[in-house]
Structure 1
Amino acid sequence: MLQTDAISFSDPLAKLTTDYVDEQMLKAIAAEHAKGRRLYIGTTALDAQRPVVWNMGAIAASGHPDAPELFRKIMIASAAVPVAFPPVYLTVEAGGRQRPRL
């Protein structure tokens, strides 16, 4: 019996994002964002059954201390495929309220 939501674990993917998504990369993305270039990544909110588009340049440029972790989680969430990779649970703040998102 499987004990997770997927056959495969995303740990190797998490390690890759940790290795490659560093402060230098976020600064480069933030610099391009300031020039007007945009980097969007799409995920799916399973609870709402709708797509979510993330402005990764704005996240990189935010200067928030949790931006690198959020950036990595969104990248992993965008790769989540039912049965192959488990969903990634995110908590976001909108309108001053924290809301869980898949």
Structure 2
Amino acid sequence: MSDPITPAVSDRICKHMNDDHASAVLVYAQVYGDRHDAEAAQMQAIDPQGMDLTVQANGETLNLRIPFDHPLQDSEDAHQTLIAMIKQARSAPKEA
């Protein structure tokens, strides 16, 4: 059984994403956050409705909220949703 998305689970997911999947976090900011100018991004929190990122773009630090397409049920749903989002983003046509 997966864990509900508590603050502790959010912290665990964010640490894992920032440490092991930083390039994916940047893609979330660029594609889903519509910040194609983002140079770096860190996941600060995740909850059933979305994720909060801190983004570096054009010498500024910005906070960005990216909503999910459905409310997450638990940590396994978060895992599968983040994977689906990165696959979709990487298969999308690039902007000219």
TM-score, normalised on structure 2? 0.29
Write 1 or 2 for the structure with the bigger share of strand.
Answer: 2
- Give the number of the structure whose alpha-carbon radius of gyration is greater: 1
TM-score, normalised on structure 1? 0.28
